[in-house]
Every structure is written in structure tokens, then in C-alpha cells.
Structure 1
Amino acid sequence: MTDTLDRAAVERELRAMIAEAARLDAAAVAALPADTDLFGPEIALTSLAGVTLLGAVDARFGVDVATLDLSLDSLQSIATLTDFVTAHLPAY
């Protein structure tokens, strides 16, 4: 299942999840540069939205970001989250 996902596919799905968690327009999030800060002004992810996002990532990709990345550095930007999830996709 997830073994067929490439980085671009993971990023597309994560952008949709970010938009949903932050209650933003999906097209607007899709158009943002990959280095856009998740907690910066464009996305302005709140701590509650961050928890929602982490739950969605775990449910969809089987990657428990909060457990694997205790400092949560992977939540810096769209790109860092995409890289982290892609690197930790479970093999099926």
C-alpha cells in the first residue's frame, strides 16, 4: 500500500491534511512553497491543529511523528514533514 507512494504523493496528501487541520483552503496550501513554516503566518498551525495533523499522519501513513521525533523538528515546514514521513513509511 504505502510502499508505492513516492515523495511527491506523500507531499500532496500531507498538504491536504495540513489544510484540513488548519482549516485552510486546500488549493492555497497546495500552492505554498515546500519550505513554508507550518507554524508561520501562511499556515498558522495551532497546537491543537498540530495534534490533529499528527493523528491524521499516523492514521494514514502509519508514522507516529510524536514518538519518532521527540523534538518535533519535522514539523518545521511542509518539506521537513514530508521528508520525515517519507523516510519512516513502514514497508509492507
Structure 2
Amino acid sequence: MSDTPDRAAVEREIRSMIAEAARLDETFVAELPADADLFGPRIGLTSLAGVALLGAVDRRYGVDVAALDLSLDSLQSIATLADFVAACLRS
């Protein structure tokens, strides 16, 4: 049995981190579709909030997204970030 969180748990925690970084209501972020753009109009992550989000992901999961995904494609949406982190945790 592994202590690695499953993909759904990772997404839930990432949604919470996004809400905190973007200063949005957690319930609002929890109800957004997984393909909602992180820097799009609904979430509106700023570059500074993006840095805070990446720091939170690194502290929680030990995944340095900026170092592992140089193109930062994983920051496209809630789903791409959750998928990236979950994949890193499995490897």
C-alpha cells in the first residue's frame, strides 16, 4: 500500500492551493471545471499568485514544477497541474 495520494485527492488539494494563491473562495474554485485556465478570467491567477501556488505545491508534494516543466505547460489549467503533480508523485 502506498502513501501517495490519488489523482482526485491531488486535484482537491491543488484546488485549495489555487483558491488561497488567487484569493478566491474555495467553494468557487471547487466548482470550476477541471479545464478552467489558471490565468484565464475565472481564476485570474497573476504571476505573483502563480509563484505562491508553485511554492505551495513544492512544500506540500516536494514537486518543483518550474524546474521539472520548463515550458510550464502544466500551468494551463487545474487539470494539467493536478495531472503533472500526480504523475511526479507516481514516478
- Report TM bin, short chain: over 0.9
Tell me whether 1:77 sits opposite 2:77 in the alignment: yes
Conserved? CA contact 1:58–1:64, under 8 Å: yes
State the alpha-carbon separation in 2 of the partners of residues 48 and 80 from structure 1. Answer: 19
TM-score by length of 2: 0.95
State the alpha-carbon separation in 1 of the partners of residues 11 and 52 from structure 2. Answer: 17
Q: 1:40 matched to which residue of 2?
A: 40
State the alpha-carbon separation in 2 of the partners of residues 83 and 44 from structure 1. Answer: 20
1:25-70 Cα distance to aligned partner (Å, 9 max, x none)? 0000000000000000000000000000000000000100000000
State the alpha-carbon separation in 2 of the partners of residues 67 and 83 from structure 1. Answer: 16
State the alpha-carbon separation in 1 of the partners of residues 42 and 87 from structure 2. Answer: 26
Following superposition, the deviation at residue 90 of structure 1 comes to: 6.4
State the alpha-carbon separation in 1 of the partners of residues 42 and 90 from structure 2. Answer: 31
The CA RMSD over aligned residues, in Å, is 1.3
Letter in 1 for 2:64: D
Q: Name whichever of 10-19 and 82-91 sits farther off.
A: 82-91
Letter in 2 for 1:27: T
Letter in 1 for 2:70: L
Instruction: Using the aligned pairs only, state the percent identity.
Output: 78
Gaps of 5+ in 2: none
Q: Residue 3 of structure 1: SS of its match in structure 2?
A: coil
Paired residues in the alignment total: 90
Q: 1:52 matched to which residue of 2?
A: 52
Gaps of 5+ in 1: none
